[in-house]
Amino acid sequence: MIASALDDVHCQYKIRDKVVRTTTDSGSNFVKAFHVFEAQNNTDEEENEVEMDALDESDHIEYHDASAILNEDTGMEYQLPPHQRCACHLLNLVATTDAAHAEGMNDAYKRLFRSSFAKCQGIWNKTGRSYLASEVVEDKCELQIIRPVATRWNSTCLATDRIIRIIDEKGEDAIRSVCDEIKVKMLNPAEVGFLREYCITMKPLLKASKILQSESSVCLGWLLPVIHQLQSKLNRLETSSQTCTPLISALQNGLKKRFGEMLEDPELAAAAVLLPKFKTSWTDKPDVIEAALKYVKNHLETTEQESQHLQRESSDDDDFFSRPLSTKLQSPLELDGYLACASDSMDLLHSFPAIKKLSIKLNTALPASAACERLFSCAGLLFTSKRSRIDSVNFENQLLLKLNKRFRR
């Protein structure tokens, strides 16, 4: 049903041949649909790994054996584009599911983690349930306590960072007096130091997720540079960390597990190389850059050969031998000129038409589905209980007008 719905959308808007990738979350329904109906299916080993990741994300899903039904279908009815798993959703899994494995690596970390967050949870619960407790915090600290939200993993980091900020700016006496009045346990110095180091460790993930959520200034070519930079930051933190070393190791293992195949994908690496901001400076691994440049050269030459072939077919019979058959392709020279330019502005692509064309193709997709999530958020504001009988066409038009109101004059 998912494959049918996506195929109907592609046909309705006449974009079947224009869609280069489809970005969704890591839900098992999307993963299975794209695995079965994707134009180039993955191997069985990749399927097993994908399904294991889906189990980590949603253990409550009940799976049914649909092999009998799928065997009746040749798989050619629907041809879905390549599937791109949402990078922000994967980072969410790294920060929650994979980070939880750190408790099993070290007993001292486990005790410190549980005691620290148990006391923080007491503060969050008390200030969230009592207006008097909230007023006490505002009077003593001149700041309000941020409460975590279960559906947003970064809210835990932000809430913890607010407690550390109050301690740094107002001193431990302020937070101690608050804890005394609202009758919750006060954090000891070891727990305060742990929470401070925890925030420092998790902030690179928070920044990476924030970067990849953009839909206007970020494209698919940003994915690998951001993940490589995130790995480098975690490696540097590992040398200076005192209590959060198990957490850093768990995050590194999670990144390798969730993004391992993407980091070795030459198409994603080529998308980063074809952005003037990054080119070949975003990684120090020569094999990754070599694979990306090889991908770019092959596709540039293929595109140029196809364009020359079309020009020859469109000519008359008398002009059959007008163009020498041994004409040297200019694409490798154009790639060398592009890489030699020091400018990091996107306007640089205008000087290299073939590079620009391939860059647009590879960077059309988004690395995260946050833009779609924003669409759902706006849809919830329109499709209320009092407007449950609204026509689908009317609903879609109102939603598009609401989202694009900034373009109206």
Helix (H, G, I), strand (E, B) or coil at 242: coil
In this structure, are 152 and 235 located in the same domain? Answer: yes
Residue 243 DSSP class: S
Q: Does residue 66 belong to any structural domain of this protein?
A: yes
What whole-number distance in Å separates Cα of residue 165 and Cα of residue 155? Answer: 15
In this structure, are 127 and 145 located in the same domain? Answer: yes
CA neighbours closer than 13 Å in the CB half-sphere of residue 401:
7
Give which of 229, 222, 328 is closest to 278, Cα–Cα: 222
Contact (CB, 8 A) for 243 and 118: no
In this structure, are 259 and 273 located in the same domain? Answer: no
What whole-number distance in Å separates Cα of residue 296 and Cα of residue 285? Answer: 17
What whole-number distance in Å separates Cα of residue 338 and Cα of residue 238? Answer: 37
In this structure, are 64 and 102 located in the same domain? Answer: no
- In tens digits, the chain (409 residues) has pLDDT values of 999 999 998 998 899 888 999 999 888 999 999 998 887 544 444 444 444 454 454 445 555 565 555 555 444 578 899 999 999 999 999 999 999 999 999 999 999 999 999 999 999 999 988 888 889 888 888 888 999 988 788 899 999 999 999 999 988 888 888 899 888 999 999 999 999 999 999 999 999 999 999 888 899 999 999 999 999 999 999 988 989 999 999 999 999 999 999 999 999 999 999 999 999 999 999 999 999 999 999 988 776 565 555 555 555 555 555 554 444 556 678 899 999 999 889 999 999 999 999 999 999 999 999 888 888 888 888 888 888 888 888 988 888 888 888 776 5
Tokens 């990144």 — which residue? Answer: 255
Contact (CB, 8 A) for 242 and 197: yes
Domain that holds residue 242: 97-263
Residue 73 DSSP class: S
Q: What's the domain count of the chain?
A: 4
In this structure, are 281 and 403 located in the same domain? Answer: no
Q: pTM for this one?
A: 0.82
Helices (H), 77-130: 87-93, 107-129
In this structure, are 253 and 104 located in the same domain? Answer: yes
Phi first, then psi, for residue 390 (nearest 5°) are: -65, 140
